Each structure stands twice: as C-alpha cells, then as structure tokens.
C-alpha cells in the first residue's frame, strides 16, 4: 500500500512537514517515489496568484525546446524558482538536468479571455509540452496552472525532500498533498506517481482500482482534453471528480454517488432517489471497485477524504482550527499536529465524505444518506 498525507493550513507551511509525516509511515511505501501537490502558495508566489506556474523535469535540450515553445506562444517568464539539488543523491533517484518551477505572464492576446477559456489554454499548453517530450523524455510536465506547484521524483520521500532542499520559505504553501509511493506497476514512471491534477482539481489514492479499464475507456471516449495518459489506475479518480464538477455541473457531494452509488434498497428511502437512480444508470461505467482511500483538493481550496464501499484502506482526519491533516495512519497525524484534540479525530466510513473547507475551521462530514444540494 502507498501512504498518503495532506495538510490544509491558514498559514503557509513547509512541504517537509508532510514528507516527515510520510516518513513515520515508511512501512507503507517502498521508496519508489514521492509526489507533491502544493497550492494556495506563500513566499514569492503570493503576489502572482493569477499567473500560471509550470512544474516539471527537463533535460538541458528540453529547456531549450521549452523556451522556444513558450516564446512562440507569447508567454513571458516572470519568476524562476531554482530547485538545485544538494548533498548526496537519494538511492534510486536518477541524475536530472533541471527541475523546473516557473511562473509566466500570459500572452497579451489572452487578456480578454474568460477564466474558463484561459484554463483550457493552460491545459492544452501542458498537454502540448508533455507530448513534445514523450519520445525522448526531455520534457516531463506535471502541471501548468495558477497557484499550483507539483514535484515528483523517484526515491525515498525524505531523501528526495532533503536533496531538493524543500524546507525553504520560497516553496511553502497552505495546501499540500503528499504521496509516498509503493510501486505496483512493471516500471517506475513519474507520470504514474500521485497526486494527479487537472484544471484545479487534484487527488491521490491508496488502494487498487480493479475497475480501471472500463472507467479509463469511458473517460477517454468523452473527448475531453486532459483525459489521457493513465499510467496509473488511480488517475481516473481525478478525472471522475473533474467530470462530476466541471462537466456534469454537480456539487462535490455527488462524487461519492458516482464512484460508489447506494444500493437500490438503500436508495429507496433517499429524498433524491429519482435523481440518484438516473445518475447511477448514466454513470454506471464510473463505479469503482476497491479498496481505495482517496484524498484530494477542490478549486475552492477545500480538502476531502472518501472511502469506497469496501473500506479496507486506512484513513483519518484531525487537527485544530487553522490546521488540519488527512493521513493514511494516525502516527502521521500525531507527528504533524500533536497538540490537537484527539477525541475529534474522524475516520470516514464507506458512506462518508470528510471535508475541511477553505476557512479551515472544522471537519464537516456529509453522508450519502443525506439530501443533495442540487443545481436548479
């Protein structure tokens, strides 16, 4: 099993806080990789919230291609955060030419575009860059989105964090997703490392999605930019959430009803039974099989945890107003927030969605038995 840890904080915190929590859960990951999603950024990024940030790993030749490509598109480099490796190279980590975290000013022609149109432009730019580098691995891009940094690397999470000097104020953020990876694929692929991201939505998963193939095929057939790749069976969880919110126009609470719908006899007494019955039928190919624990972030900076119906992967949420953590194990939570009221810790069961909103004041729980706030 992989190990997951996430933090949502009113004040910027270091990604090393999450990585150290992963380290106390090291029996659940094998050092084959670490992934970080950082948003609601502090430091130099605080004043650049609306500017897209490019995150990835490049060869020297790839950087030259990047510069030519972005220049031709009309993007202007605004800020370049140097992630310069220091100290001993972690076990299994390849030597890299460049770790890129760059902020850009958008092309002048984009100034009058809507936020939705800009978002689609960011997405298509990321995909173009990704495809440019697939053949020779000169360009590996994890995200291109405002107020978002993603870092992924092969190796032990703590060693990688120290190697990249991630305990520094320039990379602090208020939202952090961190995964310590246990490789279940035949080859270690950075694109298979969680978290995954699309248009402001990010998720990571501990588990095994045995319904992966039909879900992947359904999503890939929708013709939606970004629904591609699928080097990991867990990437579909991000895309199902994106599909739920951005394409179906449903609230987050509907996500659980799509991936783990109520059984027919459970639905019979539900106040939204007609809607849920139709939703279950229409989205039946998006129903997951487990076991899976999913932690993620929404565009409004809410953080959540859900379990599938088998509830065979651990997960706990706890903290105090202004600082909450989502963890695969209580020992990770204990390390990160030892001064919390432990009696308020919550372990979501198979009908629950645990959510900490952008105000970071409390853990809210919604159950699939409750009414949905459906759009008119």
Whether residue 63 is contained in a domain is answered as yes
Whether residue 133 is contained in a domain is answered as yes
pTM attached to this predicted model: 0.95
Under 8 Å CB-to-CB from 25, ≥6 apart: which residues?
Answer: 3, 5, 180, 327, 328, 329, 331, 332
Helical spans, DSSP H, in 180-315: 212-220, 235-242, 254-259, 264-267, 273-282
Supply 305's token pair: 């945890």
Residue-level pLDDT at 373: 86
Of 70-74, 228-232, 298-302, 344-348, the least confident: 228-232
Whether residue 122 is contained in a domain is answered as yes
27 pLDDT above the threshold of 70: no
Under 8 Å CB-to-CB from 187, ≥6 apart: which residues?
Answer: none
Q: How confident is the model at residue 28 (pLDDT cuts 50, 70, 90)?
A: very low
Q: How confident is the model at residue 189 (pLDDT cuts 50, 70, 90)?
A: confident
Supply 333's token pair: 């939570």
* CA–CA distance, 240 with 216 (Å, rounded to integer): 10
How buried is residue 346: exposed, middle or buried, by Cβ count under 10 Å (0-12/13-18/19+)? middle
Whether residue 372 is contained in a domain is answered as no
Whether residue 332 is contained in a domain is answered as yes
Coil, helix or strand at residue 331: helix
* CA–CA distance, 327 with 329 (Å, rounded to integer): 5
Total tally of structural domains belonging to the chain: 1
Closest by CA to 35, choosing from 123, 127, 143, 136, is 143
State the sign of the Cα–Cα–Cα–Cα dihedral 196, 202, 208, 212: negative
Domain residue limits at 121 = 3-367
Whether residue 155 is contained in a domain is answered as yes
Find out whether the peptide bond into 195 is cis, omega within 30 degrees of 0.
yes
Which CATH number belongs to the domain containing residue 205 in this structure? 3.60.20.10
Supply 107's token pair: 């092309």
Contact 14, 166 (CB under 8 A): yes
Percent of the chain with pLDDT over 90: 84
pLDDT tens figures, 210-251: 899 999 999 999 999 999 999 889 999 999 999 999 999 999
Whether residue 225 is contained in a domain is answered as yes
309 pLDDT above the threshold of 80: no
* Phi, psi angles (nearest 5°) of residue 70: -65, -35
* CA–CA distance, 179 with 165 (Å, rounded to integer): 18
Average pLDDT over residues 28-57: 90
Whether residue 253 is contained in a domain is answered as yes
Under 8 Å CB-to-CB from 278, ≥6 apart: which residues?
Answer: none
């Amino acid at each position: 099993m992989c190990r997951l840890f996430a933090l949502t904080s009113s004040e910027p915190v270091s990604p090393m806080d999450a990585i150290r929590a992963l380290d106390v859960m090291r029996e659940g990951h094998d050092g084959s990789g670490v992934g970080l999603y950082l948003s609601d950024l502090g430091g130099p990024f605080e004043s650049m919230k609306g500017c897209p940030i490019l995150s990835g790993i490049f060869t020297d030749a790839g950087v030259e291609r990047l510069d030519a490509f972005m220049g031709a598109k009309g993007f202007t480099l605004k800020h370049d955060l140097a992630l310069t490796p220091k100290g001993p190279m972690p076990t299994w980590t390849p030597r890299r030419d460049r770790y890129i975290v760059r902020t850009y000013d958008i092309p002048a022609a984009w100034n009058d575009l809507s936020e939705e149109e800009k978002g689609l432009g960011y997405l298509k730019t990321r995909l173009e860059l990704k495809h440019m580098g697939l053949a020779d691995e000169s360009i590996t891009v994890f995200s291109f989105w405002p107020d978002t940094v993603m870092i992924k690397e092969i190796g032990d999470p703590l060693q990688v964090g120290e190697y990249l000097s991630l305990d520094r104020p320039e990379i602090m953020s208020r939202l952090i997703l961190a995964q310590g990876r246990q490789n279940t694929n035949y080859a270690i692929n950075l694109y298979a490392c969680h978290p995954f991201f699309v248009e402001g939505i990010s998720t990571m998963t501990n588990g095994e999605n045995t319904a992966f193939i039909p879900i992947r095929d359904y999503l890939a057939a929708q013709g939606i930019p970004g629904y591609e790749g699928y080097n990991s069976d867990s990437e579909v969880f991000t895309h199902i959430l994106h599909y739920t919110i951005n394409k179906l126009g449903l609230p987050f609470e509907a996500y659980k009803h799509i991936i783990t719908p109520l059984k027919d006899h459970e639905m019979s007494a539900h106040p939204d039974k007609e809607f849920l019955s139709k939703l279950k039928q229409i989205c039946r190919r998006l129903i997951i099989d487990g076991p899976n624990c999913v932690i993620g972030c929404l565009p409004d900076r809410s953080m959540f945890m859900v379990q599938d119906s088998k509830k065979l992967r651990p997960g706990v949420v706890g903290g105090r107003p202004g600082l909450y953590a989502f963890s695969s194990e209580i020992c990770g939570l204990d390390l990160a927030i030892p001064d919390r009221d432990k009696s308020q810790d919550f372990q979501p069961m198979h009908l629950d969605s645990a959510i900490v909103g952008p105000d970071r004041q409390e853990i809210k729980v919604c159950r699939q038995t409750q009414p949905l706030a459906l759009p008119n």
